[in-house]
Amino acid sequence: MAAGPAARSVIGMTDEVIRTAGLSKRFGRRTAVDNVDLSVPPGCAFGLLGVNGAGKTTLIRMLLGLTPATSGQMWLLGLPVPAQRAEALSRVGAIVEEPGFHPHLSGRDNLRAAAGFRGRAATGRIDAVLERVGLADRADDRVGGYSLGMRQRLGIARCLLNDPALLILDEPANGLDPAGMRDMRALIRSFVAEGRTVVLSSHLLDEVEKTCDVAAIVDRGRILAQGPVRELTGGATLEERFLELTSQPHHA
Amino acid sequence: MDTYRMIGAELLKLRRRSLVAWTGVLTLGASVAFVVFNAIRHRADPTHYGPAGGATNLQHAALVLRYLGTVAAVLVGTTAGGQDRASGMFRDLVTTGTSRRTLFLVRLPAALAFYLVWFLPAYTIAAVASIGLAGPLPAPHWRLLVQFGLGVGVSTTVDVVLAVGMAATLGSRSVATGILLGWELAFSRLLEHVNSFGSLRQLLTTSAVDRIFPALGEPRVVPMTALTAGLVLTGWAVLIITTGTWRTATRDA
């Protein structure tokens, strides 16, 4: 499926697809995201790397309007959110945590239901996106009988319904076997090749290193480092760099 | 965004085998069973059992539909109001940028449409049978047919609205189902008979629904005007829609 008008970024090539400034989220006395300044350039695969509970998902949830930020500013595709969230999200596809579906419906009907909320053109893309993620032959089976890998792929298909410029995938490799992870990696790289930006969160160092062009290391709600993966590692492995950064104590 | 497409999507999501089956059994099935049972009974022993039609049988059919229809309405409403959250789909819908208010409100016409598809033929069967199977009894006047139809229709569609709002407010389909069925079929009925509550009992939806039903000479437990009954039902519907919208808009997805 060729990247349509929505995939051609609405922002200039020098602008960021995602930008946050001083973004924080507190749950009572616990700070889940702490004063984060994040910058995601367009047309790349961007990895948010951190252990479980580091704050990656909370950061994503704030960007997508699933939970309000406690403080700070955010821009999605150059648009300020929450002020222009609806416009921004019309060009975003996202999976947060495990993709949810109605198990009693087929994969195709789940996409039909999802397309109802994504504009008229989305319905016309259902067959193409099913084909794209390799689920065309199982599209009429009930989702209740899908494996986790198939549900992840159906989740990606749902993300593609609005021909997004930006895909945000929260732990897309979770629960996948090695072949599934390889397929997911290839799919993500193909989106980048089309000019889309993919932001993925992961706790799998190897996966981020193999998939992403740019990464940010997240720990205890903070971004410890961000930049092109090659520069970030500085000749070492990403694992070595990650352990070096996350073993240092944080200062307020 | 096209509202009709969103309502269509909500209707598609209601296409659960169990929901279709139960709604069918509790509305259409109940109506057919009532008519068939009375017709067979009359045919087998006409001296003891009167014809299956007439005004009294219409009243009984309407009561059957009112109580079983309430169960169906609550099942449909709580499914429409709570299934997105239960399945994890609510997160996905929020990330489309569609306003949360709209996400809640489109469930109402979808749930009502799904319910009415079953209710309308169910009542039509009862109404047609009350005329066609009246035998020597006088067939009910068309005004009575409309009054009973409106009575059952309004009472159960209000239940659909209450159920959608309650499930969205509580965030749980099963808890909302339990509370509403317990309230509508038992607790509210008990409160109606507590005389010391006086005119406060007019605030009960069951009392208001009783008022819009044709009484056929029977005294009403809680007397009130038709206007009050309409205001009470509208008030409850507005209140639960407001809380459902508010909760959908404010909860973490």
Q: Looking at beta carbons, which residues of chain B come within 8 Å of A25?
A: none
Specify the length of chain A in residues: 252
pLDDT the model gives residue A119 = 85
Q: Do B88 and A101 touch (CB under 8 A)?
A: yes
Q: Is the pLDDT of residue B69 over 50?
A: yes
Centroid of chain to Cα B198: 26
What single-letter amino acid sits at B198? G
A contact test, residue of B16, B95, B100, B102 with most A CBs within 10 A: B95
- DSSP assignment of chain B equals --HHHHHHHHHHHT--HHHHHHHHIIIIIHHHHHHHHHHHHHHH-TTTS--S-SHHHHHHHHHHHHHHHHHHHHHHHHHHHHHHHHHTHHHHHHTTT--HHHHHHTHHHHHHHHHHHHHHHHHHHHHHHHHHT-TTSPPPPHHHHHHHHHHHHHHHHHHHHHHHHHHHHHT-HHHHHHHHHHIIIIIHHHHHT-GGGGGGGGGSHHHHHHHHS--TTPPPSS---HHHHHHHHHHHHHHHHHHHHHHHHHS--
Between B9, B88, B252, which is nearest A116 by CB? B9
Share of chain B above pLDDT 90, in %: 91
Tens digit of each residue's pLDDT, chain A (252 residues) = 444 434 343 444 447 999 999 999 999 999 999 999 999 999 999 999 999 999 999 999 999 999 999 999 999 999 999 999 999 999 999 999 889 999 999 999 999 999 999 988 999 999 999 999 999 999 999 999 999 899 999 999 999 999 999 999 999 988 888 998 999 999 999 999 999 999 999 999 889 999 999 999 999 999 999 999 988 877 788 888 888 888 877 654
User: Average pLDDT over chain B, rounded to whole?
Assistant: 94
Q: Answer whether A165's CB lies under 8 Å from A9's CB.
A: yes
For residue B93, what are its two tokens? 């819908």
* Smallest Cα distance from B10 to chain A, Å: 7
Residue A85, classed as helix, strand or coil, is: helix
Long-range pairs of A223-230 with CB within 8 A, sequence gap ≥ 24: A223/A36, A223/A37, A223/A38, A224/A248, A226/A38, A226/A39, A229/A47
Question: Which one, of B173, B176, B174, B194, lies nearest residue B184 by Cα?
Answer: B176
Over residues B81-110, the pLDDT tens digits come to 999 999 999 999 999 999 999 999 999 999
Nearest CA in chain A to B10: A113
Give the residue from A86, A131, A88 showing the smallest Cα distance to A107. Answer: A131
Taking contacts as CB-CB distances below 8 angstroms, the residues of chain A near B93 are 117
Residue of B nearest to A64 (CA): B95
CB contact under 8 A, B94 and A113: no
What is the chain A residue with the closest CA to B5? A116
Q: Name the residue with tokens 């609510």.
A: B90
CB contact under 8 Å between B87 and A101, yes or no, is yes
Whether residues A89 and B6 touch (CB distance < 8 A) is answered with no
**pLDDT for B8-59, tens place per residue?**
999 999 999 999 999 999 999 999 999 999 999 999 999 999 999 999 999 9
- Residues of chain B contacting A101 with CB distance shorter than 8 Å: 87-89
d(CA B169, CA B131) in angstroms, rounded, equals: 43
- Yes or no, beta carbons of A65 and B94 under 8 Å apart: yes
- Residues of A with CB below 8 A from B83's CB? 102
Q: pLDDT tens for residues B105-128?
A: 999 999 999 999 999 999 999 999
The shortest CB-CB distance from A117 to any of B88, B93, B252 is to: B93
CB A95, CB A159: distance < 8 Å: yes
What's the pLDDT score for residue B214?
82
Q: Nearest chain A Cα to B103, which residue?
A: A117
User: Is A120–B17 a contact, with Cβ atoms under 8 angstroms apart?
Assistant: no
Measured between beta carbons, which residues in chain A are less than 8 angstroms from residue B17? 104
Q: Which of A66, A105, A118 sits opposite B91 (nearest CB)?
A: A66
Q: Would the CB atoms of A117 and B9 count as touching at under 8 Å?
A: yes
Name the residue with higher pLDDT: B252 or B9.
B9
Residues of A in contact with B16 (CB under 8 A): 104
Considering only the beta carbons, identify the residue of A64, A67, A104 that sits closest to B16: A104
- Higher-scoring residue by pLDDT: B193, B218: B193
Q: Determine the average pLDDT of the residues in B148-172.
A: 96
Does B145 score more than 70 pLDDT? Answer: yes
- In this prediction, residue B1 has a pLDDT band, given cuts at 50, 70 and 90, of low
Task: Quote the CA–CA distance of A3 and B94 in Å, as a whole number.
Answer: 23
Compute the distance between CA of residue A173 and CA of residue A137 in angstroms, rounded to an integer: 22
Long-range pairs for B40-48: beta carbons < 8 A, 24 or more residues apart: B42/B133, B42/B135
Contact residues, chain B, for A107 at CB < 8 Å? none
Kindly determine whether residue A92 and residue B95, on different chains, have CB atoms separated by under 8 Å: yes
Q: Which residues from A are below 8 Å from B96, CB to CB?
A: 89-90, 114, 117-118, 162
What's the confidence (pLDDT) of residue A250? 61
